[in-house]
A and B are shown apart, each in its own frame.
Chain A
Amino acid sequence: MFNLFNKKNENLALIEEMRTRQERWFVFLEKLEARMEEMNTAAVPELQKVFRQDTDPYKRAHIHMLSGLLGQINQMRNKANEVKEENIVCFMQEAEASLPSIISSAGSEYRRKLYTFRMACLDRHNVFEDKINHAISLLQGAAGEQDLESAYQEELAAFERIRDKFSCKQCGGNITIPRMFFIDTYITCPFCQSQNTFSPSTGARMVLHQARSLAEQRTAHLLRSYEASNPKNPDLYRHYLRCMFDEWNKIVPDMVVENEKFYERLINEYNINHHP
């Protein structure tokens, strides 16, 4: 393809080809970046709006929208990877095969040129990847955190209001709910011993679902201090994990046994994978 080395051991066609390919590659990535940025600036306020207006307790409309946008970004990433594979890597290999022996002066000279070309293109691709990652984290963080703490406090207050309001369906005697339940529960009537079924409100059920996220929000500063430590201090992570689970257990005391098993697993995995 480029075996046009003449007597002076020059191949201007190859040099020209490298130059235009690099130029095209840079322009292509710039265009992608511009489109990505354009999309992000337009999408972030929309995402926030959808998040605020979403009445679904799981914020599913927001999740759908976010995954749609992330899909767009991943499309760009795949496109760039495809083009890189086709136009940089393959070209590189073909061109290298057509070069004269590496021990000849032209051979080593052109290999050097080719590697400079490759490094320039790949470095540019790394910059592009960094921007992609930044865009993704921007989209993911756009809506901010849900205010779980105040929702939880509201539920606690709501429970205090209703806990004495129930009566036995069999004998009409007053029933006080002994503690906050997050799933359907049998409550025994203190007078006739009948089993009443107590169904917590949707809000109370959500507490169980959000408990871990809430505990993570409460201990986020500990995780941050672990991530800020350099080199990463494993004791800080263990401390964070213990505190997070303590908070979690405090919110849903019913799940202590299960949560502790989960804690054991996480801490074991951490020890095995990172700090024997």
Chain B
Amino acid sequence: MAEEKKRIQAYLEQLKNKVETQENYGGEITNEEARMDIRDCPECGAGRAYHKGLTACAYCGFVFMDTKLTDGVNIRKENNS
């Protein structure tokens, strides 16, 4: 019985070491603070104006993204330029 106990302890120890050293898929999760960012038009430096849509620059026509936007949680299909 004592031997059994030892075996179990050894197994638990091994298991614990394993889970503590195991790397998670996708790496460690770092806690990030909330932040604000902006993507200017790299061609003319203008910001993206809401009523002109999000996919292209309203001033020089630079294309920010090729995707056609569909309805999502915060983005609507009206946001296409």
Contact = CB atoms under 8 A, between A and B. Distances in A.
A184 to B, nearest CB: 8
Contact of B19 (A65, A183, A185, A198): A65
A169 interface: yes
Contacts of A170: 38, 40, 47
Contacts of A50: 16, 19-20
Nearest to B48: A195
B49 A193 contact: yes
Nearest to A194: B47
| Interface footprint category on A | 35 or more
Contacts of A168: 36, 38
A166 B38 CA distance: 12
A56 B20 CA distance: 11
Contact of B8 (A38, A64, A167, A196): A38
Contacts of B32: 199, 201-202
B49 to A, nearest CB: 5
Contacts of A64: 18-19, 22
Nearest to A71: B15
Contact of B24 (A56, A187, A195): A56
B24 to A, nearest CB: 5
A199 B29 contact: no
A169 B74 contact: no
A167 B36 contact: yes
A144 B71 CA distance: 39
A185 B30 CA distance: 20
A69 B16 CA distance: 11
A38 B8 CA distance: 8
